Amino acid sequence: MEERVKTDLSKFNPSEFDRGASSLKFFLWHWVNVIFFISPFCPSSAIRCFLLRMFGARVGKGVVISKPGVNVKFPWRLTIGNHVWIGEKAWIYNLDQVTIGNHVNIAQGAMILTGNHNYKSSKFETIFGPVTIEDGVFIGAKAIVCPNVTCYSHSILAAGSVATSALKAYGIYQGNPAEYKKERVIQE
């Protein structure tokens, strides 16, 4: 039997990743994130939005981040539109750009991921891809949006589902990987 190539994590080089900010800015954001976002000590959505803006995020009006446990990796790679709700323990792991449109609801425990590892490489290096969530989208509780995915206008990703490819406008998706189930019909 021939010897197969194996993963060798000692070859992984984290310095190949550009955080997009100085070490000081990254350090300061880490502690702001821990104290004001992840912990339950700050119940104010306005303060959280202000801090995101201070660290380079573009945040619209009427954004609600009032529950604890929200985790944002790099605010300088985040754009949030108007009247967006981000639920408790949502995680925006934005190693690449995350763009969230207007009137979006990201429910509790949802994850927006822009990075993964190249499992085909022995070095297991990190690979990146942006995420775009257009207007009116609903990302259900504990759902996951993977890198290079666009959730088009008013689509729904059901609770616990995993989006590995684009969600068409007004489509309702469920499962792992998420599959189209039916059209979303919004009533007055």
**Residues facing 100 on adjacent strands:** 80, 133
Closest among 168, 131, 172 to 153, alpha carbons compared: 168
Q: Which of 30, 83, 103, 117 is catalytic?
A: 117
Residue pointed to by tokens 């201070």:
54
The verdict on whether 103 is a catalytic residue reads no
Distance CA 108, CA 21 (A): 28
CB environment 4-38: b (16+ within 10 A), e (fewer): eeeeeeeeeeeeeeeeebeeebeeebeebbeebbb
CB of 176 within 8 A of CB of 161?
Answer: yes
- Between CA 32 and CA 11 the distance in angstroms is 32
Name the residues annotated as catalytic.
117
